[in-house]
Amino acid sequence: MRYFIQLSYNGTPYHGWQRQPNAVTVQQTIEEALSTLLRTPTTIMGAGRTDTGVHARMMYAHVDIIPEDVNDSAFANLPAGETGANLTKLTYKLNNFLPPSIAIQAILPVKEDAHARFDATHRSYLYRIHTTKNPFTQERAFYYKIPLDIQRMQEASDILLTYSDFECFSKSNTDVNTYLCSIKEASWSLVDNEYHFTITADRFLRNMVRAIVGTLVEIGQGKKPVSWMHEVIKGKNRSLAGASAPAHGLYLTDIGYPKHIFVD
């Protein structure tokens, strides 16, 4: 049976989401915990990939589990009809196997062909920039000393909604079939002493959000005019955009799916 795992994680200790041969990642950590718990090699497929140091308030991954084939696991000795109890117990046990930096919110039954990555209808990110030195946010937000003009950054963000080709914000040498993305929201807000940038799209290119933020910061700092955003996007060249903002200020906050892929 196929299930969606809903989780969150602090990305600081990890070299991103995707499993790598010589580095600890979020995917690897969850797979090892599941394999130990279920006593069978278990792999998962994430809804996307986050870079080293990027956090996720909401992430999904799908996993295939055959309850009747698992002995002494979270599914053992439970009535066949108790799917909810099985999944609650598995969630509890999995959280006990995982480090504090990863938390499982729920394990949800889905249709057999449901796919955590390809069935996602939208994704949302938050980028945090704090303006005063704070030891409690140094790994959770980007400390930027220079004042930023939030109105100019918002005007430049509005321009993003008028384009669909974002090759200029894609990491170089990335193997993708298309650079087309449909951005539905790109907005700035001031929360306490932090600038918060929220962006939602049907898909994102690798390093795209951090490149956008770095470009907007140059505009907010007054180094570039708002109209520069048009030049960057039309140029379709990563070297024309601003430097990528640091990873530790970025959070994956939401992933949407159609209701029909979930079971009950």
Please identify every residue annotated as catalytic: 51
Alpha-carbon distance 121 to 142, whole Å? 29
Burial (0-12, 13-18, 19+ Cβ within 10 Å), 41:
exposed
What number of CA atoms fall less than 13 Å from residue 67's CA on the CB side?
20
Residue 188 φ/ψ region, left for φ over 0, alpha for ψ in the -120 to 50 degree band, beta for the rest: beta
Task: State the amino acid at position 135 in one-letter form.
Answer: P
Residue 83 · residue 106 · CB < 8 Å: no
Alpha-carbon distance 98 to 35, whole Å? 12
